[in-house]
Every structure is written in structure tokens, then in C-alpha cells.
Amino acid sequence: MDRRSLESVFAGVAQSVLYDEPLVRHTTWRIGGPADVLIIPGTLTEVKAALASARRHELPVFVLGRGSNLLVKDGGIRGVVLKLGDDFAAVETSELSLTALAGRTIVSAAHIAIRRGLSGLEFATGIPGTVGGAVTMNAGAHGGEIRDVLAKATVIDRAGEVLEVLPQDLAFAYRHSGIGEKGLVVVTATFALTAGDRVKMQERVRAWSRRRIVSQPLSLPSCGSVFRNPPGDFSARLIEAAGLKGQRIGNAMISDLHANFIVNLGQAQAADVMALMRLAQTAVWERFGVKLEPEVRVVGEDEARR
């Protein structure tokens, strides 16, 4: 479907509808080709309208959060990209739970929980994504995962029906859930928490933050860890031992601070990152016989729509 046709389909669907929008502006790696249509809904009604229009015209829908843990190929994403942003950022707490809309960053949700003496989400202070993205990817850090604390989620299916789902409905696995396969859009998530010592939680989080500052290249765009850690070892150790720290292809580089990070030195292309990923996988396999499995999700097309 060409741009003119897309504009006729999505006119008036939401306040913010962008065409041929570079996704470099919407990913933490600052990499990514254009989305045919990027819709940023302001209300639940607009979410439903966007999904209904896409369904009527048989267009695929990709749901985007902050674009962390995501590599969008240089050709971009065909069809509709749906991004729940600042209009979906409300948070409420009760005695032992926190409920957040999907566009809220999981980091800020975790800090709100800590300030209110609720424990269980501290691990999420190191995750640079949204609540919706964290649930969809079963995000984790510091030994914790979303599935450990999720009580329930409200989702919309592709038919526009609002459903409440429980953790057992979502086929959680390591950095994975069944949300994408089921064609669901997370709208809210409720986390079951416990009473905690505010001071001790803050001290623990500050210690993790200090460790990240000295061990991770936080000043450069990245997706976080590129590869999963193999059983009993660390991908960063293996990549460093293979002599690849500081290796560059184009403007992408295997970090010289943390070898499981690939950083964007400025206008890096997805093809550069993928070439470095293949290089790391080949070198580690040849030297150690270990197969590195990507943790980052790679989506999109190699070439743009013509």
C-alpha cells in the first residue's frame, strides 16, 4: 500500500499519525529504518481505532515501547507501528500492588514502588523500557524477572476486545512471552509486591547503579546486552577472550568497556550491528565451541519499501 493509500486509511484514527517515520528516533540504539505508519495513540479508543483500521486492510501491526532490546533493520517496518507513549503513563499504588499503564517506563514505576515502601520491582531500575515492553519481553535484571511479580495485565487483542490476562496465560520464558504471538497489546500491568524497607531498597538500587556506571557504556546509544549468557558463563567474557573488544564495523563498535554491548558511535546502520553480531558468534564458536544466542530482538526489512 503506497503512502497516499495509507493516509486515507489512517486519517483521523489518532491525533499523532506519522508516515515514513524513521525509527532511529524511537529506539535506544538510535538505529532503524522507516515505519510505513507510526501511530501514537492518546486514548484507548484511538488504540482500538488503529487496530480496527489495520485489520480491515490486512496490515501487520508491530507494537513498540521505548525501542530498547530492539534492532530495527535499515529497511524499516512495513505496515503499522503502534507506540503507547506518554499518554499511557499513569501509575496507581495500593497497599501491596502497583498498577501502571503500558507507556510508563518500568524504571520510574519501580522507583515509585520503592518510595512507597513496596518491594519486588527493584530489579527493574536497570531496565530501560516501558511497562508494556517489559511485560511483553519478560524483562529482567539482577536475578529478577517480570513474571516473578506480575499479578495480571489488561490487553487488547487484534479484534479490539479488552481482556484481563494472568501470568499463566502468557507463556513466559527467558526474555519472552506469548503476547506477540497472540497479537496482544498490553495496556496496563499490575504487580504484586510486598512491604519493604525503603532505605535498604534505595541502598541496593544505588549500588547497582554505581556498578552499571563503571561497567557499562551508558554514554553511548545501545540496546543493553546483545547476547544471552550461556549456561555457566558470560557472553561478555567470551567475546572479550576472543579479542573483539573495540572491534568496529562502520559506526558500530563492540564496547571496549563491556563486550556484550554494541554501541552506536554515530549514525551506525543495523547492517553494521548485525555484522558485528555475526563476527562475535563466529569467533566465540570457533574458539570456545559456544553458540551465542541473541537477546536483542531483530525486526524489520533489509530494504525499504519502494
Point out the residues that are catalytic. 175, 225, 295
Q: Is 64 exposed, middle or buried (0-12, 13-18, 19+ CB in 10 A)?
A: buried
What is the distance between the alpha carbons of residues 77 and 84, in angstroms, rounded to a whole number?
17
What is the distance between the alpha carbons of residues 264 and 223, in angstroms, rounded to a whole number?
10
Cell of 242: 576472543
CB neighbours of residue 298 within 10 Å: 13
CB contact at 8 A, 222 and 28: yes
CB neighbours of residue 279 within 10 Å: 16
What is the distance between the alpha carbons of residues 289 and 285, in angstroms, rounded to a whole number?
4
